[in-house]
């Protein structure tokens, strides 16, 4: 599996050192020294419904900064947030709500089109159309976590879903047909080729994962204790995880479900637990700071996700870092991050989530089997670091800049040749 690659806001502030053109060379310590990068992403990690896509974009922004690049991160703005901020060396520019961001970010980029050498355009179903507004010599890398067609139909009326699918498919396919594309799993690459008929070269660069840190143990209710970690949004189907407390109530009377995360479904999940009569065994923690979140993860026997589509499954690897296996549906992305029977279990056609969770708990009740799975989880999580992710993206950025340096003279020579052939220019 080729996980790390294969063969109208304020103006950006002036860089602290003279900006270099793409013809400039960096140093081994800072291979991107002076390179100016714009990262365009729907949200940023501090926003209320941010998820794995935002973490990915932010981590590569931080890494590119560490390689000497000057990075601007253009995104939407939530109420109460400032329009401009510098964080971790990255220049944040926030503009527009979840809809206006797709108009304001391209306009912001257009007004600064000569200032950037590289644009990383994150397509969260809808792209930012950056190839239309930047200079021809500016490298554009398209970042796609997963295909959104089913998500459009799940959340929008049919007419609007069809428009979304048209933009994600034929429009984006044509616009980015010559642009290097990054995705995060083999499943997503296959979906891009099969469902969107994507023509551009696609490189798989997997998510990283924070290193698991020692946790302060807390007494948490549940024997067994099952955890869900992630956003509380419709397509994650967290109500199915909450329902486990009722479905397995007879066979696993001590089972407690701990839900860590925030999102618009929080209220409906509380109501669902009350309707099922399991409110005392379902714990909705909301957003937890890192130490508290890690304490819940570290205490869990099992991580469960019921999402119907993912690009990868960042929380799967995060749980694995604590030796906690995952039960997930056999869907794109999750079948890449969960190694069935080794670091977790996949719910396949004809099986129910409750059946597979019950089977997993049974296997984990054997101390030898549990130790084996915990070791496999930690080893699997150890293969994914943000450093490796950032290094792979840096390699792609460097290749794009090298291609831009080569393309300039070739384009000028070809243009001169055409003029000579047509008699417009004296070859002397």
> What domains, with CATH codes, occur in the chain?
36-208+385-414 (3.40.50.2000), 225-381 (3.40.50.2000)
397 phi/psi in degrees, rounded to 5: -60, -45
Residue 257 carries which DSSP code? E
At 18 the pLDDT is: 30
Contact 149, 195 (CB under 8 A): yes
| C-alpha to C-alpha distance for 174 and 198, rounded to whole angstroms | 9
Nearest partner of 90 among 57, 131, 112, 50, judged by Cα? 57
Q: Which residues of the chain have pLDDT under 50?
A: 1, 6-24, 410-428
**What contacts 366, CB < 8 A, 6 or more positions away?**
none
Contact 279, 269 (CB under 8 A): no
Q: How far is the CA of 189 from the CAs of 31, 192, 307, 392, in angstroms?
A: 28, 5, 19, 16
Output the pTM of the full model: 0.81
| C-alpha to C-alpha distance for 282 and 245, rounded to whole angstroms | 7
Q: Give the CA angle between residues 158, 160, 164 to the nearest 5°.
A: 110
Q: Give the CA angle between residues 116, 133, 129 to the nearest 5°.
A: 105
3-state secondary structure of 251: coil
| C-alpha dihedral sign at 52, 64, 138, 198 | negative
Tokens coding 291: 């130490």
- What's the mean pLDDT when you consider all of the chain? 87
Q: How far is the CA of 296 from the CAs of 123, 218, 378, 396, in angstroms?
A: 32, 8, 17, 37
At 408 the pLDDT is: 55
At 420 the pLDDT is: 40
Contact 186, 2 (CB under 8 A): yes
Contact 88, 56 (CB under 8 A): no
Tokens coding 362: 């049974």
Contact 70, 62 (CB under 8 A): no
Tokens coding 138: 């500016």
Contact 281, 293 (CB under 8 A): no
* Residue-wise pLDDT tens digits, 224-238: 999 999 989 888 999
| C-alpha to C-alpha distance for 65 and 71, rounded to whole angstroms | 6
- Which uninterrupted H or E stretch holds 293? helix 290-299
Q: Outline where DSSP puts E strands in 281-351.
A: 282-286, 302-304, 326-329, 344-347
At 385 the pLDDT is: 94
3-state secondary structure of 312: coil
Tokens coding 219: 């007494």
């Amino acid at each position: 599996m080729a996980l790390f690659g294969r063969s109208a806001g304020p103006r950006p502030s002036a860089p602290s050192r003279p900006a270099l053109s793409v013809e400039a060379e960096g140093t081994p310590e800072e291979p991107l020294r002076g390179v100016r990068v714009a990262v365009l992403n729907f949200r940023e990690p501090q926003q209320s419904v941010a998820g794995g896509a935002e973490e990915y974009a932010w981590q590569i922004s931080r890494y590119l900064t560490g390689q000497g690049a000057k990075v601007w991160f253009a995104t939407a703005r939530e109420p109460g947030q400032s329009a401009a901020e510098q964080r971790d060396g990255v220049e944040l520019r926030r503009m527009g709500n979840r809809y206006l961001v797709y108009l304001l970010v391209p306009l912001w980029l257009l007004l600064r089109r000569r200032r950037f050498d590289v644009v990383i355009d994150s397509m969260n179903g809808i792209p930012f159309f950056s190839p239309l507004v930047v200079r021809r010599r500016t490298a554009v890398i398209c970042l796609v976590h997963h295909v959104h067609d089913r998500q459009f139909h799940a959340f929008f009326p049919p007419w609007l879903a069809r428009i979304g699918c048209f933009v994600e498919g034929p429009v984006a396919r044509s616009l980015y047909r010559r642009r290097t594309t990054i995705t995060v799993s083999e499943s997503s690459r296959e979906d891009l080729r099969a469902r969107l008929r994507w023509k551009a070269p696609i490189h798989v660069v997997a998510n990283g994962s924070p290193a698991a840190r020692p946790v302060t143990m807390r007494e948490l209710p549940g024997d067994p204790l099952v955890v869900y970690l992630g956003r509380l949004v419709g397509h994650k189907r967290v109500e199915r995880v909450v329902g486990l407390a009722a479905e397995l109530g007879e066979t696993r009377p001590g089972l407690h479900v701990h839900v860590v995360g925030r999102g618009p479904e929080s209220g409906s999940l509380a109501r669902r637990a009350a309707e099922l009569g399991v409110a005392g065994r379902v714990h909705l923690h909301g957003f937890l700071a890192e130490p508290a979140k890690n304490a819940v993860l570290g205490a869990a026997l099992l991580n469960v996700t019921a999402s119907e589509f993912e690009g990868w499954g960042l929380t799967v690897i995060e749980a694995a870092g604590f030796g906690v296996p995952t039960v997930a549906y056999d869907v794109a992305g999750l079948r890449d991050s969960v190694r069935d029977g080794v670091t977790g279990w996949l719910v396949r056609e004809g099986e129910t989530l409750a059946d597979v969770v019950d089977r997993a708990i049974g296997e984990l009740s054997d101390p030898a089997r549990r130790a084996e799975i915990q070791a496999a989880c930690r080893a699997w999580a150890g293969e994914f670091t943000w450093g490796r992710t950032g290094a792979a993206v840096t390699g792609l950025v460097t290749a794009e800049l090298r291609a831009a340096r080569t393309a300039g003279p070739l384009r000028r020579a070809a243009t001169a040749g055409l003029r000579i052939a047509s008699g417009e220019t004296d070859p002397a």
